[in-house]
Chain A
Amino acid sequence: MTHMRRTFRVAAAGLLCALCVQTGGQAADLDLTVGYLRLEEPAHPVLSGLDPVPARRGIEGAELGVKDNQTTGGFLGHSYALDVVSLAPEALAADVAAAARDMLAKTRVVVLDMSSEAALAVADLAEAKGAILINAASGDAALRGASCRANLLHTALEDSMAADALMQVLLSKRWTKLAMIVGPTAEDGGRAQSYRQAAQKFGLKIVSETTWTFDSDLRRAASREVPLLTQGFKSHDVVLIADAHDDFARYIEHNTWEPRPVAGAGGLTAVAWAPVIEQWGAAQLQSRFTDMTGRAMTPRDYAAWAAVRALGEAVTRTGTAEAGALHDYLLSDGFELAGFQGRPLSFRNWNGQMRQPVPVVNAHAQVAAAPLEGFEHPRNPLDTLGTDQPESECHAFGE
């Protein structure tokens, strides 16, 4: 690992140019352009308009990552840029493939902000062989499992990492009897499945389950409808909500038949990032992001930031911008990223998932950071979250 530690003596004049590299004219020893390919999600109708999806969600996280990389790079003669292509939700698979081909002709490192099917199609393009693609959007288990690809890493949380984090918190509070409300969409069903698996993994019990079917305007009717819906639950400690689109969950809390905390969506949630996170220097990242964008940093922005920063860290430590070398380094034991979460972030070398603590938060504060004390793992406590190596169906990463 001698290549990892170097002394850089640079002429002072060049150094002061750290902030002026963007204006061009600075001869850089290494250039890394990171591609950012987004297939916009079709807007999902939700009951409340209180939390609109920011138009440049994800992209702005990547932009901050490039800025951070650029500051470091300025001292080393390394230069970074971001190439963003965002496709409308109506784009066809062929359009995505064409855009990906164009991008891969320009750069071998691309952040993907799209559905799991679209990401997989990009990863399977002939042009993507030997590239580094980083999924910053999908939590789909299959992408880390049977459908994993060696050229596809993930900074987005695997869904089961969030579910495991939530169950660790509930278990540590001994709130082990759960009553679950599942939304009507396929994504809600997937979320519910990850909760069932996580509950089983940590020995919690889902004592009742019901499906959300209401089509009335809950902003007016929640106080009448929700007590009836939850009245039939068996004795439970927590109401767990599988609502992948943040549609109805916000109307459940304080409307339940029994006085119970709400978790999963609304109430207590496990997320990659949230505005309430301020420990471990996170306040600095939040304020840098908000100063730049005028809004709060979302989990998608965090995943995009982490993807770009991971690439920057790899360039800094290896002194190369070549995709193959960066890929090897990212998956090696030597790689670690400071992600403002109190533990170093790294990649699982069996499926390309980024190891990361999972904050468990409510609207006003961070409640816990999983893994919680007492959840041990022979390799790394972070591996108590998500699919572990023995259960993994991913074989694309070699041994």
Chain B
Amino acid sequence: MRVIYAGLLTACLAQPALAAEIWVSNEKDDTLSVIDIDTLEVIRTLKTGERPRGITFNADFTRLYICASDSDAVQVMDPETGEILFDLPSGEDPEQFVLHPDDRHLWIANEDDAVTTVVDVDSRTVVAQINVGIEPEGMAVSPDGKTVITTSETTNMAHWIDTESHEIYANTLVDSRPRHAEFVKDGTELWVSSEIGGTISVFDTGNQNEIGKIHFEIKGVHPDLIQPVGFELTPDQKTAFVALGPSNHVAVVNTETLEVEGYILTGRRVWHMAFSPDHRLLFTTNGVSGDVTVIDVAKREAIKSIKVGRFPWGAAMRP
């Protein structure tokens, strides 16, 4: 099913446009793979600390933040040189984080510690630590910057944190093992994926009430193996792509009806994803098969798989 339209791609992508890149963290290789979006090839492999998972760029893409989980640090890399500039204090076992719209505060989920850590990247200090549920992972920040969400995998909750007071103002139960959260539709909704529950819960951010739930069903795949993790919405917010873990598919969801419109076959245990700058291509990390699937967004089909390192985890775009 992983068809390679190499010729076609070269034809339509060969303009010497911006050499945009997809950066992928390889959890079990302690490296990053950098994929050139024009050639769809890995052009650089960079060393990181131990067990890199969440990765994100700052606002002007001059810095890459890396959760080096087993090094107990967030590393700051110069993406031009690939050099680690310095480590930020991060609390123990940072797994995933989100950069506040102020471009200054990283909100970090400390998986082993049941804590969310707020770090000021300029002063390189810990500003606050907030007790959350067990195995915090999913992190999201509202577009207005007022709320940060931490989801905790074993406590099965989304914790709503006021970014001013650093206090939790609501806790909402979700299905088992929440992995990823995003504010969508201009921050009016919060979506939380639950890996073992097999659902995405949709919340009204105004009152934190659950207003919908997305279910998945793939012919020939037992429901227990359909495990939503990462997801991304198209810029018009009308379509969501949802990675479904060991079912080896990405679902295409209509965000109005919350119905699934189709499924795209990917590599094994598909996890997180990132769009190309023009949103024509979507890149998914496939943990077990150690590759990245390239999806043609308009056609909703996989067009290539790119071998990266062992256990690709996070993905981030650099224009």
Contact = CB atoms under 8 A, between A and B. Distances in A.
Nearest to B134: A71
Contacts of B133: 71-72, 75
- How extensive is the interface on chain B, given as a class? 35 or more
Contacts of B201: 5
A336 B194 CA distance: 12
Given A342-B246, A343-B225, A344-B176, A72 B156 contact: yes
Nearest to B155: A72
A12 B173 contact: no
Contacts of B207: 7
Given A7-B172, A7-B208, A380-B224, A288 B112 contact: yes
A316 B224 CA distance: 21
A276 to B, nearest CB: 16
A18 B131 contact: yes
Q: How large is the interface on A (under 10, 10 to 19, 20 to 34, 35 or more residues)?
A: 20 to 34
17 contacts: A6-B172, A7-B172, A7-B209, A7-B210, A9-B171, A9-B208, A15-B168, A16-B168, A19-B131, A71-B134, A71-B154, A72-B134, A72-B157, A75-B168, A281-B135, A338-B176, A338-B195
Contact of A8 (B134, B173, B177): B173
Contacts of A72: 133-134, 154-157
B32 interface: no
B114 A10 contact: no
Contacts of B111: 284
Contacts of B171: 7-10, 15, 75-76
Contacts of A288: 112, 134
Contact of A344 (B153, B165, B208, B224): B224
Contacts of B167: 12, 15-16
B299 interface: no
B216 to A, nearest CB: 14
A338 B177 contact: yes
Contact of A316 (B134, B172, B173, B210): B173
Given A72-B157, A75-B157, 5 more contacts: A7-B210, A9-B169, A71-B154, A72-B154, A287-B112
Interface of B: 111-112, 114, 131, 133-135, 153-157, 159, 162, 165, 167-173, 176-177, 195-197, 201, 207-210, 222, 224-225, 246
Nearest to B224: A343
A239 B158 CA distance: 50
B210 A5 contact: yes
Best-buried of B153, B177, B208, B225 by chain A (most CB within 10 Å): B177
A12 B165 contact: yes
A68 B152 CA distance: 11
Contact of B156 (A7, A18, A316): A316
A87 interface: no
